[in-house]
Amino acid sequence: MPFNNSGGINIIKKILLILLRLLTIPYSYAVLAITLLYRKPTNTHKIKPPFWEITELIKGNESLLFDIIANTIMLFPLGIFAPLCFRKSDKPKKIALIGLIVSVSIEIAQLVTTRGLFEIDDIFHNTLGAFLGAYIGCPLAKRIFTEDSSQRKK
């Protein structure tokens, strides 16, 4: 019989939840470091036209494929962590909105600090990554926050 706290989450689920939430700290730092901290200022404010990466990829510039994949992967963990940290973030649409807000914030910070370009493409790919990650994070959070059926009977 698992130990049950007042919230209905057994001790193993509680420990797993704490560990997963702790992972958000190094993840958040890594995103901040990659997007702002370890970039040198260019002293120019540049805004790229929408979907320029995809257009160039279609034209045959395969070197941009890495950027597209990297930007999609960057906020994928956000889609996993957000439902575990915020119970109301329980649907992929909500996670996509969070990903959009985080991505727009990053792009604006890069534009203002000149530590990168403001790219609609990055916003799209980051948001897509968060949305895809939600398909792991939302069911995982639901499983963690839901009482076991054996506990409900008692």
Query: What pLDDT score does 4 carry?
Result: 46
The pLDDT tens digits for 12-54 are: 888 989 999 999 999 999 999 999 999 999 998 999 999 999 9
CA distance 30 to 18: 19
CA distance 34 to 75: 12
CA distance 34 to 74: 9
DSSP 81-139: HHHHH-TT--SHHHHHHHHHHHHHHHHHHHHHHTSS-EEHHHHHHHHHHHHHHHHHHHH
The pLDDT tens digits for 46-100 are: 999 999 999 999 999 999 999 999 999 999 999 999 999 998 889 999 999 999 9
Residue 141 has pLDDT above 60, yes or no: yes
The region of weakest confidence among 7-16, 115-124, 130-139 is 7-16
